Chains A and B, each alone.
Chain A
Amino acid sequence: MNPVHTQKIQNPGRTLFEERKIWVHLGWRDLRSRYSRTLIGPWWSVANLLTIVFGSSLAVGLISGNSALSQAPRMVLGFCLWLLINAILNEAVELFEAEKSLLLNTQISEATLVMRLLWRNYLVFLHSFVVVVLTFLIAQEPLSLRLLALIPIALVVCLGALFPVYVFARSIFVLRDLKVLLPSAIQLVFFLTPILWTPPESGPMHTISIFNPAGWIIEFTRQLILEDQFNGYLFAKVCILAFVSFLLMSLSAKSMRTIRKLL
């Protein structure tokens, strides 16, 4: 048995791989715990997304003068990805506070807790797939294998969220007010993301959509699935973002060690 020297800083990437069994188990357990005493279990999130999609499609259809059903496929792709991003960021705000007991009693790494959060939300996202298929069937949009692209796209979203989750989870220790402000900011980003609207060719909303990573991923997915168009530029931006997020997460290893001091 080799001695363990605690001054050695663990690389989060390595920790994530070494502790993969832990975060996979904990994420799955969270999901079971979430639905353990509900009547319809995971179908709650399916029903929730279905209601949002058709409610929004109807509203947008009425405003724009188009048929509600024609809006539904665009809406469902936008909403299923947005709900993933929204849930990840909202849960991130209280991540380390909620896991205080675990952090102060076990050697579990902070990076593992971040992965646990991403994994359980990814599992919830997979429920959305049923809604996407249902919506496409109702809207009489042809089903194709391109729909399966949602699965790796959501993985890229999770990878891209690694660093933001860490920043959000840590930020409330710097300024407590952020605990209240961040969820409001996320709500604001919803309106600035092309979910209910299509990015115009020019103007302020066009500029906003250029700088909105959530918009990149949603637009890329819509173009790929609905228009059979692979937008290499958006894809590159999303991949670079995910890579940078992972890199920043690795670089923040030293700073991660101080989180337990703040609990």
Chain B
Amino acid sequence: MSYKLELRNVVFTRFMERDKRARFALHRVERNVIDDLSISIAPGERVGLLGENGAGKTTLLRIMAGIFQPDSGSVSRVGDVSCFLDGFFGLDPFLTGRENAKSRSVMAGMSKAECLSNVENIEDFADIGEYFDQPVKSYSTGMILRLVFSIGTSRTHQILLIDEGLGTADLKFQQKAFQRLEEMYASAPIIVIASHNLDILRQQCTRGVVISRGRIVYDGQIESAISQYSSVQAQ
């Protein structure tokens, strides 16, 4: 199967408030967050996204995941997508880890039996003990990350999109997570990681893409991309 992720001339705008009186939609202006961006990711590529805050990395990941629809241009995706985009991952803080895991399994289209076994897998991997049956609002940031990562990687996906991934996890879980990513890499040929943690990008990625103001300013080997990004940051 030839999995792929391709964006062609994608433009995505967001509404910005023109001034403090912006009570009406009429007072808002649109700004291109992603500006005529094209990228094609072939199977086997692990892409690291670099860019300063507000460059458009998370928005780009959301477009890749199909969460945001571009205003113009096209997105072509072949393969199941899994993404971790913000700390809370859409979890319901008032529900337990188990209930959240079950909901996400249902949302992934699993049958009742599949849901049960998937929740067990998530519980095993997250390894948060009795907290799995406590409301998520009582979790520490690291525990939320454990749960989020376990839910997101509990089944095979061909496209994995990670934003600022594993920085808050403890070392033991980071190693476990990287091991799972390695295992997934065999079946998930496309991985895109947006991060400011250059070590993680060096470790996990083969290709680097530097974004600035919604445009790609560099696309090449990860080491070169990191150098490019570091030199821009140093200025």
Q: Kindly identify which residue among B23, B75, B79, B86 contacts A177, using a CB–CB cutoff of 8 Å.
A: B23
Contact A261 B15 (CB under 8 A): yes
A38 at the interface (CB under 8 A from B): no
Contact A4 B67 (CB under 8 A): no
Q: Kindly identify which residue among A103, A175, A260 contacts B23, using a CB–CB cutoff of 8 Å.
A: A175
Contact flags A173-213 to B (C-beta < 8 A → 1, else 0): 11111000000000000000000000000000000000000
> B74-123: which have CB < 8 Å to A?
74-79, 81, 83, 85-86, 88-92, 94-95, 99, 103, 106-107, 109
Given the interface pairs A21-B109, A101-B90, A177-B23, the reply to whether A107 lies near B68 with Cβ below 8 Å is no
Contact flags A84-108 to B (C-beta < 8 A → 1, else 0): 0000000000000000011111111
CB-nearest residue of chain A to B148? A105
B208 at the interface (CB under 8 A from A): no
Interface range on chain B: under 10, 10 to 19, 20 to 34, or 35 or more?
35 or more
Q: Tell me, rounded to whole Å, the shortest Cβ–Cβ distance linking B72 to chain A.
A: 8
Contact flags A1-16 to B (C-beta < 8 A → 1, else 0): 1111111000000000
CB-nearest residue of chain A to B4? A3
| Bound: A133/B73 CA distance, A | 58
| Bound: A137/B139 CA distance, A | 49
Q: Which residues of A contact B75 (CB under 8 A)?
A: 4-7
Q: Kindly identify which residue among B68, B74, B88 contacts A260, using a CB–CB cutoff of 8 Å.
A: B68
Given the interface pairs A7-B69, A25-B106, A176-B23, the reply to whether A101 lies near B77 with Cβ below 8 Å is no
Q: Which residues of B contact A261 (CB under 8 A)?
A: 13-15, 68
Q: Kindly identify which residue among A4, A6, A106, A260 contacts B90, using a CB–CB cutoff of 8 Å.
A: A106
Contact B86 A5 (CB under 8 A): no
Contact A101 B91 (CB under 8 A): yes
Contact A29 B1 (CB under 8 A): no
B66 at the interface (CB under 8 A from A): yes
Given the interface pairs A1-B79, A4-B76, A106-B90, the reply to whether A173 lies near B67 with Cβ below 8 Å is no
Q: Tell me, rounded to whole Å, the shortest Cβ–Cβ distance linking B230 to chain A.
A: 30
Contact flags B29-51 to A (C-beta < 8 A → 1, else 0): 00000000000000000000000
Contact flags B147-188 to A (C-beta < 8 A → 1, else 0): 000000000000000000000000000000000000000000
Contact B91 A260 (CB under 8 A): no
Contact A101 B88 (CB under 8 A): yes
Interface range on chain A: under 10, 10 to 19, 20 to 34, or 35 or more?
20 to 34
Q: Which residues of A contact B90 (CB under 8 A)?
A: 101-106
Q: Which residues of A contact B99 (CB under 8 A)?
A: 29, 33
> B120-144: which have CB < 8 Å to A?
none
Q: Tell me, rounded to whole Å, the shortest Cβ–Cβ distance linking A176 to chain B.
A: 6
Q: Tell me, rounded to whole Å, the shortest Cβ–Cβ distance linking A25 to chain B.
A: 4
Q: Tell me, rounded to whole Å, the shortest Cβ–Cβ distance linking B2 to chain A.
A: 9
Q: Kindly identify which residue among B63, B70, B76, B107 contacts A106, using a CB–CB cutoff of 8 Å.
A: B107
Q: Which residues of B contact A103 (CB under 8 A)?
A: 67, 90
Q: Which residues of A contact B95 (CB under 8 A)?
A: 29, 33
Contact B107 A22 (CB under 8 A): yes
Q: Tell me, rounded to whole Å, the shortest Cβ–Cβ distance linking B185 to chain A.
A: 19
A145 at the interface (CB under 8 A from B): no
Q: Which residues of B contact A102 (CB under 8 A)?
A: 90
| Bound: A7/B86 CA distance, A | 24
Contact A26 B70 (CB under 8 A): no
Given the interface pairs A26-B103, A262-B15, the reply to whether A4 lies near B66 with Cβ below 8 Å is yes
Q: Which residues of A contact B67 (CB under 8 A)?
A: 103-107, 260
B25 at the interface (CB under 8 A from A): yes
Q: Kindly identify which residue among B69, B92, B107 contacts A257, using a CB–CB cutoff of 8 Å.
A: B69
Q: Which residues of A contact B106 (CB under 8 A)?
A: 21-22, 25-26
Ranked 6 nearest A-B pairs via Cβ: A105-B90, A102-B90, A6-B75, A25-B106, A257-B69, A101-B90
Jot down 7 A-B pairs with beta carbons below 8 A, ordered by A: A1-B3, A4-B76, A6-B63, A6-B70, A104-B90, A105-B85, A260-B67
User: Which A residues fall within an 8 A CB radius of B?
Assistant: 1-7, 21-22, 25-26, 29, 33, 101-108, 173-177, 257, 260-262
